[in-house]
Amino acid sequence: MKNIMLKLKYDGTNYVGWQKQPNGATIQGEIEARLSALCGENITVIGCSRTDSGVHAREYVCNFSTNSLLQPYAIKRALNAKLPHDIVVLSAEYVADDFNSRYTVQSKTYVYQILNCEERDPFLGKYAYHVKQPLDVESMNLASKHFIGTYDFRAFTTAEGSEKNTTRTITDCCAERADNLVTIIVTGESFLHNMVRIIAGTIIKVGQGGILADEIPRIIESGERTLAGATAPAKGLFLSEVTI
């Protein structure tokens, strides 16, 4: 058996997330179906993250084991010829037998995009949350720094989350503006269900004046979901970088 790592890029608009499930098309399901046909055996793909419905990825890491004699470059080429237009294989390579995308990945960086202007943008409609009210990005950046560290983030996950241990480590977090596009960037070892979207929603609320930046530590310490901001829409979220 050979262990092969794939790096992908995908538009999550038409999918109910990464993980295969019966209620809609998934990235994992599309990859596994094409790989199984290509390799002539049932293939199970292990992913680095369970991205939610509608979430995108500029870089996603997954791996699978196969008896196929096909070389990684041939697998990449064949997959890109067969996959839907909104999923692309960036690279394919052999990795060690004990490599597991879920557990070997050291950190993940997510980027949340906000279109902050009066008018809609038809080219960003599927990829950014439109906020008309001017945002105070300086305050948003101050708020973001309070998320850096190891904390119990139970106030920043939803009831659907099944994790018993809600302590996570965030190594970097910031907010910045480039013209009308405001981005929130969060890097960490791993994340709870909807954690990044709730952090983004909270930082956005700071930018709108609904929460003070210095209130973030109190919200984290409280563990109360009701004190944090709304869960920001999925379409603005991208898995941007995976560190192995």
Mind listing the pLDDT tens digit for each residue in 111-122? 999 999 999 999
Predicted pLDDT at 161: 54
Q: What would the mean pLDDT of 21-37 be, rounded to a whole number?
A: 95
The CATH code of domain 2-104 reads 3.30.70.580
Span 56-71, average pLDDT = 97
Q: H-type helices in the chain, by residue range?
A: 27-39, 72-82, 101-104, 137-145, 195-207, 216-222
Q: Over the stretch 82-103, which tens digit does the pLDDT of each residue have?
A: 999 999 999 999 999 999 999 9
Confidence band, pLDDT 50/70/90 cuts, at residue 160: low
Q: Are 52 and 160 in contact (CB under 8 A)?
A: no
Q: List the chain domain ranges.
A: 2-104, 107-243
Whether 2-104 and 107-243 share one fold: the answer is yes
CA separation for the pair 132, 126 (Å, rounded) = 16
Catalytic sites, residue numbers: 52
Q: How far is CA 144 from the centre of its chain?
A: 17
158 contacts 53 by C-beta, under 8 angstroms: no
C-alpha 199, offset from chain centre: 13
pTM: 0.94
Distance CA 37, CA 39 (A): 6
Q: Give the whole-angstrom CA distance, residue 96 versus residue 86.
A: 29
Per-residue pLDDT at 168: 96
Q: Domain 107-243, what architecture?
A: 2-Layer Sandwich (3.30)
Quote the tokens at residue 31: 């990859």
Residue 226 DSSP symbol:
G
